[in-house]
A and B are shown apart, each in its own frame.
Chain A
Amino acid sequence: MKSILILLGVLVTHLAVAGSQVHEKVLDNGLKVLMKPDHRAPIVTSQVWYKVGSSYEHGGLTGISHVLEHMMFKGSERLAPGEFSRIIAENGGDENAFTGRDYTAYFQTLAKDRLEIAFELEAERMRNLTLPKEEFLKELEVVKEERRLRTEDDPESLTFEQFNATAYEASPYRIPIIGWADDLEHLQVGDLRAWYRRWYAPNNATLVVVGDLEPETVFLLAEKHFGPLKSEQVLPPKPRGEPAQRGEKRIRVKAPAKEPYLILGYKATALGHGGEPWEPYALEMLASVLDGGSSARFSRELVRGTRVAASASADYGLFTRLPAMFLIDGTPARGHTLEALERAFRAQVERVRREPVTASELERIRTQVVAHRIYKQDSVFYKAMRLGLLESVGLGWPLLEQYIEHLRRVTPEQIRAVARKYLVEDKLTVALLEPQPMDGKQPRSNAAGGHSHAH
């Protein structure tokens, strides 16, 4: 225990230096502005996070948040299609955007004297997007190509998409972020106009700035460019709570592939969604017990020990708007079947339900969590990302200052308790990828097995 205490002592001192305060200001129109100074390099990152993503969507309109993200580069009242990107490029900026289940975010990273350019452009497209039909029709084709690239032609992605849609009944987390192919096929530019009006407003957004500037400067610039924008009446999304699952679900997914793949997902809770407040933290620590690096149980016991897995991972997302799953996935090693891998995963789950994790495992994980947090201080982008994410999922950025402490306080008994409560068969969905022949010809006799490997 001694080394961890020394380590934490070091950590606190240095975080006080490197991790300076977050400053917050809410403009009259409801835009929340967060600024965290970081003077290590003469750069600044600016991110606009909208509270809308695939979990806000409904049947027939899936994928619309992501298509709208693409269209945000396609012209506004004062900017021609593509001009946004050209201006940022000419100013030496990096830019991009991403859509998740709970958010759509846009960012620019620039030399610190160029921040105002990003503000001017982002403020313009927050309220004045034009959504020209001919641009929409072209961009929709680009998004369909993106879906083919990321999902249709990737057997593991395809399996995950089907798995997700099987596991969730009512929760909008069943919706693929990129949207169902047929919904994309029938999307209209009018749908996008309505979606844009409904969600893109200063009072539904967070502006996050991290970099080599002072908060007062940033707040003044934000007021100048975003202050004049009108707010909108934004109705919060309906809860769409997931009904209790009544028994294990299983699917088999057939796709051209060479190697099988397995996913297990247990419905779990999320921060602010029932259960004891420590439960999500205990689930996060549980994921690290199983898969927190190459010394964790999956690597040690399934990859190096019994060698049933070629790869194996466990994942739980701590920062989500709605309850999500505790996920396990992997590929069997040569000579092992999907069934053998599934048995091994279930035995690992059984063990965490039965025995408390050891003190040394927990100490290692706590140390990793703390170290990882310090490593992330190396990137202004990541710092801004964390703030934007916490705001967008409704947890609030101050949690960033506290969650490490919550993780550190998790006990072996709490980890066993969440395993017993959530990692149960009735909450489980299993998906198996059964590789089909790549040449479309001969059927495979034992597609799910490992015996079919060519040598």
Chain B
Amino acid sequence: MRTDKIRIFSIACALLGFAVASAAEAGPRIETWETTKGARVLFVAAPDLPILDVRLVFDAGSARDGKHSGLASLTANMLTQGAGEWDANTVAERIESVGAEFSAGAARDMATLSLRTLTERSVLDKVLKTLAKSLSEPRFAETDFERVRENRLVALRQDEQDPGTVGSKAIYRRVFGTHPYAADPAGTLETISTLKREDLVEFHRRYYVAGNAVVAIVGALSREQAENLAERLTAGLDTGEPPPELPPVPKLSDPILERLDFPSTQTHVFAGQPGMRRLDPDYFPLYVGNHILGGSGLVSLLMDEVREKRGLSYSVYSYFLPLSERGPFLAGLQTKNDQAAAAREVLMNTVRRFQEKGPTEDELAAAVKHITGGFPLRIASNAKIVSYLAVIGFYGLPLDYLDRFGERVSQVRAEQIRDAFNRRVHPDRFATVIVGPRKDWAPDAGE
């Protein structure tokens, strides 16, 4: 339903998500082990509230779709729609009658099942049985599949009426070309229409295996209880193995400009290129640098130039989305149609200047303080911690990643940022997507 809140600015840095920091403070104590079937478990005991959060993540995101764009996402969605002898109504009832919450979805790298429940024993027993069976014996019933597919088609058409979503999908296609990251996880009208139930069954059989799973657990459990839980959740899975690595993301060799005609009052501008990997050697210089450029909300350079000084856009941002292979580096804004060219120029000039000159010492010092000073906030709830555990487990980050993040951020020097941006970011070869009415397109614009 409608929310009645209006936020003063969109926090672009939220897209970076997993960056956590502190020089002085330690993260939560993470315990890790493998289940009998070979799934990796990460656990943090959180005894203060009678809550349990679980994330089960698989290397089963849309990067594994192949020709069937949307397959990973529909497969994940169908996991909540019936399992074993239970139909969709029964699964919903079993979860919600004890106040639990259960959802499943897929992004580019990961498929994720999320559970939140109370830890009272009879509750936990019912919920875990339901989750384990949903994972290992999903029904993929034909009639439910048809319904989920039809409703996905409605959602995809709703995407087509939103200029931001249209542009966002287009820039991924332009940045990633033939790489699997180019396709939107939701799929397209064409691919979703041709998917068959057997495709989902086969995808599930191949990718939902213990050797391809990470179980992240945060809650009021003992280590023994957590071990028990992880065993129960993965017992019905085949051992299996992780899929082969994704191909590397190719560089953009020439600039690309795509204009999409859209009947909107604003023009949306997206510009970018392949960015960095989750385990990238330049991770920290690029992360801290982008924080200064366009990742820190109201105080970023882009926000200052585009919004604070000129009032050109409500939201303006840049971000790296680090993935298994190089995820995107994207910058963007939205502005009324007749000033789109001017706003784009300010955006690009700001990116170019930063790419050439890097940050000042003052800008760097402020950013380091912002990131490291905010460390306690970023691990202040079970919900946040369980998300970090999933990322640490999935991407194979070291267990002391949170403990050492602040130290690494503090060690970044301005020269390293300048050097990393210089080597890795190439505004003259950016892909650009502009969504807005044709009549407002700048006359000099190439196609």
Residue numbers of A with Cβ under 8 A of B are: 3, 6-7, 10-11, 14, 17-18, 40-43, 66, 69-70, 73, 81-82, 85-86, 89-94, 96-101, 109-112, 114, 137-146, 148-150, 152-155, 157, 160, 177-178, 256-259, 292-295, 299-300, 303-304, 307, 310-311, 313, 315, 327, 329, 331, 333-335, 360, 363-364, 367-368, 370-372, 374-375, 377-380, 435, 438-440, 453-455
User: Which listed segment binds A: B48-56, B169-177, B179-187?
Assistant: B48-56
User: 23 A-B residue contacts at CB 8 Å?
Assistant: A7-B98, A7-B123, A40-B49, A42-B376, A69-B8, A70-B8, A89-B366, A90-B369, A92-B375, A99-B6, A110-B373, A112-B376, A139-B311, A140-B311, A258-B157, A295-B95, A300-B92, A311-B151, A371-B99, A371-B117, A374-B118, A375-B116, A379-B383
Is B67 engaged at the interface, CB distance under 8 Å to the other chain? no
Shortest B262–chain A CB gap in Å is 7
Contact call B374/A94, Cβ cutoff below 8 A: yes
Write out the residue numbers on chain B whose beta carbons fall within 8 Å of the beta carbon of A331.
Answer: 154, 158
Write out the residue numbers on chain A whose beta carbons fall within 8 Å of the beta carbon of B99.
Answer: 7, 367-368, 370-372
Assign chain B's interface to a size class: 35 or more
Write out the residue numbers on chain B whose beta carbons fall within 8 Å of the beta carbon of A371.
Answer: 98-100, 117-118
Q: How many A-B residue pairs have CB under 8 A?
A: 251
CA distance A329 to B2 in the complex (A): 10
CA distance A14 to B158 in the complex (A): 43
CA distance A440 to B439 in the complex (A): 12
Minimal Cβ-Cβ distance residue in A for B193 = A455
Write out the residue numbers on chain A whose beta carbons fall within 8 Å of the beta carbon of B429.
Answer: none
Shortest B16–chain A CB gap in Å is 14
Shortest A256–chain B CB gap in Å is 4
Which 10 residue pairs across A and B have the least CB separation, nearest first? A92-B373, A371-B99, A138-B311, A141-B311, A92-B374, A295-B92, A41-B380, A315-B1, A146-B314, A310-B154
Chain B, 1-36, CB within 8 A of any chain A CB? 1-2, 4-9, 11
Known A7-B98, A292-B96, A300-B92; 16 more pairs at CB < 8 Å: A10-B118, A41-B380, A82-B298, A90-B370, A91-B369, A99-B5, A100-B4, A100-B5, A111-B374, A145-B335, A256-B161, A259-B158, A300-B89, A304-B88, A315-B1, A367-B99
Is B266 engaged at the interface, CB distance under 8 Å to the other chain? yes
Contact call A7/B120, Cβ cutoff below 8 A: yes
Q: Mark B355-397, 1 if CB is under 8 A from A, else 0.
A: 0000000000010011111111101111100000000000000
Contact partner of B314 (CB less than 8 A), chosen from A91, A96, A145, is A145
Write out the residue numbers on chain B whose beta carbons fall within 8 Å of the beta carbon of A455.
Answer: 193
Is B93 engaged at the interface, CB distance under 8 Å to the other chain? yes
Chain B, 264-306, CB within 8 A of any chain A CB? 264-266, 296-299, 304
Shortest A95–chain B CB gap in Å is 8
Query: B6, B80, B157, B375 — which one has the most chain A CB atoms within 10 A of its CB?
Result: B6
CA distance A87 to B93 in the complex (A): 49
CA distance A91 to B372 in the complex (A): 9
Query: A148, A157, A329 — which one has the most chain B CB atoms within 10 A of its CB?
Result: A148
CA distance A334 to B311 in the complex (A): 41
CA distance A42 to B304 in the complex (A): 31
Write out the residue numbers on chain B whose beta carbons fall within 8 Å of the beta carbon of A367.
Answer: 97-99
Asked whether A294 and B92 contact (CB < 8 A) given A98-B6, A139-B311, A327-B1, the answer is yes
Contact partner of B151 (CB less than 8 A), chosen from A7, A112, A149, A303, is A303
Write out the residue numbers on chain A whose beta carbons fall within 8 Å of the beta carbon of B297.
Answer: 85, 89
Contact call B50/A142, Cβ cutoff below 8 A: no
Minimal Cβ-Cβ distance residue in B for A299 = B92
Minimal Cβ-Cβ distance residue in A for B153 = A334
Write out the residue numbers on chain B whose beta carbons fall within 8 Å of the beta carbon of A160.
Answer: 2
Is B336 engaged at the interface, CB distance under 8 Å to the other chain? yes
Contact call A111/B373, Cβ cutoff below 8 A: yes
CA distance A156 to B99 in the complex (A): 31
Is B199 engaged at the interface, CB distance under 8 Å to the other chain? no
Contact call B193/A97, Cβ cutoff below 8 A: no
Write out the residue numbers on chain A whose beta carbons fall within 8 Å of the beta carbon of B193.
Answer: 455
Write out the residue numbers on chain B whose beta carbons fall within 8 Å of the beta carbon of A137.
Answer: 311
Is B155 engaged at the interface, CB distance under 8 Å to the other chain? yes
CA distance A430 to B261 in the complex (A): 32
Contact partner of A142 (CB less than 8 A), chosen from B265, B307, B383, is B307
Write out the residue numbers on chain B whose beta carbons fall within 8 Å of the beta carbon of A155.
Answer: 161
Contact call B265/A152, Cβ cutoff below 8 A: yes
Minimal Cβ-Cβ distance residue in A for B382 = A378
Minimal Cβ-Cβ distance residue in B for A94 = B377
